[in-house]
Structure formats: C-alpha cells, structure tokens
Structure 1
C-alpha cells in the first residue's frame, strides 16, 4: 500500500483517448503528476509512428512509445527508432500468399519505413487518411512486398466480424506470424512471429531496468492482451473487449469517463495516505 508503480503502460485509442481522439485535461494532469512522482509513462499502441504526433501534441511532453503492436520502440524527443522488428520481404510474401489462398477477396496494406509510410492495394479503403502524403497506392502488386514492413494489414469485405476474421487469419498463419486486431471493423493486424505489445514493452522495460511486476498496464482490445498478461497489474477500461476484461486484474471506468486518470488518481491518493 502506498507504493506507486515504476512504470505505467497505456494503450491509446479506446483507453487513454476518448472517442473523439482527444485526451482530457484531467488525464494530462494526472499523467504529469505520476511522472513527477517518479513513475515512467509509456504509450503502447497499435498506431504507427506517423500517428503519434497528433496525440503527443495534447500532452505536456511526448511519451516514449511502443508502437505498431510492439514492432517499433520510439523515442519522440529525438525522433529516434530505438528498435524495430519488421516482417522481412520474403516472410511478407509467404504470409500474403497463404492468406490469398485461404481467404478469397482479401486485400492488404503495409506499414513501412518503421511506420512512417503506408503502401496499399487499390481496393484498400483509406478512409480518413485519404490525401495523406505518407500513404500511397502500390504501383505494382509486388510493390507491397518490396520493403520490410512493421505491420501488414488485412481486410476482406466478406468478413466484417473482427473476432471471427482475426481467428480465421490467425489460424491460417499459425507458427508463421502474429495476427490480432484493435478495431471493431473487419481489420486484422499482422506482425512477425513473437512481435506483440508485450515483447516491445518488455524490451523497453529491460532498457529501463524495470521488472514486469513493477508495471501497471491499461488496455481495451485484443492486441492489448499480451501486454496485460505480461504486466504485474492489468487494468481494463469499462468499454474493453470481453477478451480483455476476462484477463484483467481490475476494471476502471470507460475511456469516455477518464478511466485511466481515475485509476491513477486512486494510486496517488493511496501513496499519499501511505
């Protein structure tokens, strides 16, 4: 009682961020208080590097980040990639060939250059990213496979249920690559075998000299499960996917109710009382 965690690892979308992708003033304030009290705060996200600046602009200072579901560890202060574990082109080709054989109509995009750029097939829906200069259409089919990718993204119009589609992809890629999802649409995120949020966070914690039992982690979606299982204390927000709630040690308020901030405020109050 009264002891603060040495490190706080938090997912972003659906956990720290509200539905409108903003961070409340309350959350910003409590993260600053935790940092001042000696607890490191790390963002652990499925987002690529290029999507982090818009989040960090809302904070008093940017956070070290494990991104692309553990494939990239990033220092925003120096704009430096500390570690990257991408899918090699030969592995990408094998994964794509296997999924095309198993899932008719599957379409792909790849996160390349450590997540600073995306290349996608013509059928890929760019949604709100349309017009982003960091995203481009593949010139040729093999263009997708030309460079190492920190993440391969897969969609199939006939498979809109995210859990069922992720299970289908994971089964097709068993032993070859990791498949997970953080979206409530039919989008699956594929990484090299062994690359998860847990692996990326464990690497960064080793760099800091922090043990798993000194970490409190927050999350909401299946891609957070490895991290939450690894961390000493796993906290799900109330809006979390059932798979996350099942393995969580505790459940806090939803992301719309500043659940991460509420939990950390209680830790600070207990520390003061102790």
Structure 2
C-alpha cells in the first residue's frame, strides 16, 4: 500500500497535552514532501485550524471543517462543499436553551457568533485562538433568515445536568435529521446527519487529487473519526482513543500526549 496523503483529527489526536503541535511532530511533517497533502479534519471552524497549518508550513492545504459540513481548498478559500443545519432547526435549538444555563454558539462558514463573552466563550476562544463576534442569537438567526442561511455547527456548553436536559429534548425533536455529539459532559456539538469526515474526504479526493481513500492514512480518537478510519487505507487510533475507535483501527499508536501521530509518520513514511 502506498500512502499518498494524511488526514487527521486535531483535538485529542494531533495536538499534545498542551493543545499545541509538538516539536517532534513538526519535525516529522517537515520531512514529508511539500506536495504530500496534510489534510486537517475537525469540528473546528476554519480560522481555528489555519494557525496550525501556519505552524506546519502548510497554509492553503485542504480543511475539512465542522466535521465535514464545510470543505475548503487552497489559499483562495475555494469552497468544495457546504452543508448546513436548516434555519428552522437552528431556531428550535436556541428555543430549547432559553431559560437554562446552556450557552449556545452558532457557526456559519468563517463566522462564530456568541450571545455574550462569558466563561464558556472565553474558554473556547483560548482553546481555538479565535475571537467570536458577540451578538444575540435571535439577531444572528434573523440575519441568516434574510440571507437564507443556516448553521454549519451549533455548539452548546453548560453544566452537565443542563446539557443532559438539552440533549434529551433536542434528540427527541430533531435526532432523525441532526447529529448530536457529546464530546464532553459539558459540550454538545450539533451538525447535519448527512455529513461526516469520511464523506468530506472522499469528495475532496475526487475533486482535487488523483487517488482515492485507499491511499490515505488517517488518525483519530473519537466517535466522529470512526467512519473516516474505516474508509481509508490505513486508519490509526491514538492511544487515548475511545475503545470503539481502537476496535476498528488498522493500527494503534501512542497517545496524543506521547506524540502518537509523529511515531507513525516516522515509522511508515520517513
């Protein structure tokens, strides 16, 4: 099998315990040919990924954002795919959160909207190195309505018991059409059910590269990485991955805190 590209999750996989790219990883990537694609695939928004491309010296390479709902290629930010949550669902999600302590973040393309800059927004800004636009959710939804837009991602943050309440209600009302993913007991990430990192990667390869999924090595740690790891030629689970991810992976490596991605790059590609 000849590996011609890497596609990797970010949080819990590519980033180390300090939530940065380690020197060992950067050195390994620097030894790969410049025409060897390093494709980032995450629930993050574009600007929360571009600073990592900059650190790797890979600005302009493909970005699979919002778990596959927004796929960008090259420095001109060419949009290859654009799948969003319909506006009426966005409105329903905001309504469920009213009267609770659940903090709702709305993402659309290059934009991130927060109702207020509280501790939840501050934490997310620190983790992703992106500053949100502060605007009430009702105004954002009204603006989207005039432009016939929806959200690429809705993220809800709050106390575990409130998040559980929100999750049950949203799942009951919209679970057939939306994917509600609890990345932590205080977080819910919501996206259209029709998209995935795997489907986005397949589309990207078809449109921009002369090879298929069988030529890709992919890395991941969580449930939203399973389809991608199953679909590629070599699916690698990091040591801190969920057991369900490890069970379907072709290879296991060390944890993200132990440079697991770098270890496999050095072993297989260098």
Calculate the TM-score normalised by the size of structure 1.
0.80
Report how many aligned residue pairs link the two structures.
Answer: 259
Partner residue in 2 for 1:186 = 186
Alignment pair present for 1:200 and 2:200: yes
1-structure distance, mates of 2:64, 2:13: 15
Alignment RMSD, CA only? 3.1
| CA deviation after TM superposition for structure 1 residue 146, in Å | 4.1
In structure 2, the partner of 1:141 is 138
CA distance in structure 2 between the partners assigned to 1:76 and 1:46 by the alignment: 19
Residue in 2 aligned with 1:119?
113
1:109 aligned onto 2:87 = no
Mind listing any 5+ residue stretches in structure 2 that lack a counterpart? 145-149
SS at match of 1:126: helix
- Alpha-carbon offset, residue 90 of structure 1: 2.5
8 Å Cα contact 1:120-1:144 kept in structure 2: no
Counterpart pick for 2:91 among 82, 90, 93: 93
For residue 214 of structure 2, give the secondary structure of its aligned residue in structure 1.
helix
Correspondence 1:58 to 2:55 = yes
Q: Is the 8 A contact 2:181 2:188 kept in 1?
A: yes
Match of 2:75 in 1: 77
Say whether the 8 Å CA contact 1:108–1:124 is kept in structure 2: no
How do 1:110-259 and structure 2 match up within 5 A? 110-112=106-108, 114=109, 116-122=110-116, 125-128=120-123, 129=125, 133-138=131-136, 141=138, 143-144=140-141, 146-147=143-144, 148-159=150-161, 170=171, 172-181=173-182, 183-207=183-207, 208-259=209-260
- Is there any run of 5+ residues in structure 1 with no aligned partner, and where? 270-274
The normalised TM-score by structure 2 is: 0.81
**How far apart, in 1, do the equivalents of 2:245 and 2:167 lie?**
15
